[in-house]
């Protein structure tokens, strides 16, 4: 099962929990709880991927994981630069965003998917830094992912 299908199943489970949290605690607190829980799950998953990377983690092994997120045409991407120091790409179509909107969860889609990205790369390899200024999920025409591998500095 691809990640897109997995996220759809997760969202169907999270939706009623989120609604209950929102009713009891308010929108801001409900979103904070979902954000924290999903971020912790992303960190755990990243560490599991890192532990399974026999040759050790790097920006190149991180790039190799991209096919998991694009599986089933989940993302249409345009690679700007990909080497051992920089991995830059734009997402031109995001079926994750489309799926959450179809489920009536577009307003928390960034919590269910987008917020995982920076946490995941940090958990996979702390030297990988991500920046992104916009997402389709929050209304932009494309997502601009920018990753850089920072060399370890002396203590």
Place of tokens 């399974």: 52
The answer to whether the predicted template modeling score (pTM) of the entire model surpasses 0.85 is yes
The token duo for 2 is 């691809």
Q: What is the DSSP letter of 125?
A: -
Overall average pLDDT of the 132-149 stretch: 97
Strand pairing partners for 78?
Answer: 90
Which residues, listed in sequence order, are joined to residue 82 by a DSSP beta bridge? Answer: 87
Q: What percentage of the chain carries pLDDT values higher than 90?
A: 95
Encode pLDDT of 27-58 as tens digits.
999 999 999 999 999 999 999 999 999 989 99
Strand order in the sheet with 128-131: 75-82, 86-94, 143-149, 128-131
C-alpha–C-alpha distance, residues 83 and 89, integer Å: 12
- Residue 79: strand pairing partners: 89
Q: In terms of residues, how long is the chain?
A: 155
Tens-digit pLDDT profile for residues 114-128: 999 999 999 999 999
Chain-centroid distance of CA 62 in Å reads: 13
CB of 120 closer than 8 Å to CB of 42:
yes
Measured CA to CA, the distance from residue 101 to residue 68 in angstroms comes to 22
Q: What pLDDT does residue 153 have?
A: 52
Contact 105, 112 (CB under 8 A): yes
Give the C-alpha separation, 131 to 154, whole Å: 24
C-alpha 16/C-alpha 130 separation (Å) is 31
Per-residue model confidence (pLDDT) at position 5: 96
Which pLDDT belongs to residue 152? 72
């Amino acid at each position: 099962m691809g990640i897109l299908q997995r996220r759809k199943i997760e969202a169907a489970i999270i939706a009623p929990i989120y609604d209950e949290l929102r009713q009891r605690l308010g929108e801001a607190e409900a979103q904070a709880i979902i954000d924290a829980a999903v971020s912790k799950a992303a960190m755990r998953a990243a560490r599991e991927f890192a532990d399974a990377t026999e040759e050790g983690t790097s920006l190149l092994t991180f790039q190799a994981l991209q096919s998991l997120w694009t599986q089933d045409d989940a993302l249409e991407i345009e690679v700007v630069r990909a080497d051992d120091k920089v991995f830059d790409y734009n997402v031109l179509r995001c079926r994750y965003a489309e799926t959450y909107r179809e489920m009536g969860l577009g307003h928390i889609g960034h919590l269910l998917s987008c917020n995982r990205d920076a946490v995941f790369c940090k958990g996979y390899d702390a030297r990988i830094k991500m920046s992104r200024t916009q997402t389709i999920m929050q209304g932009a025409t494309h997502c601009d992912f920018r990753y850089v591998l920072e060399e370890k500095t002396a203590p």
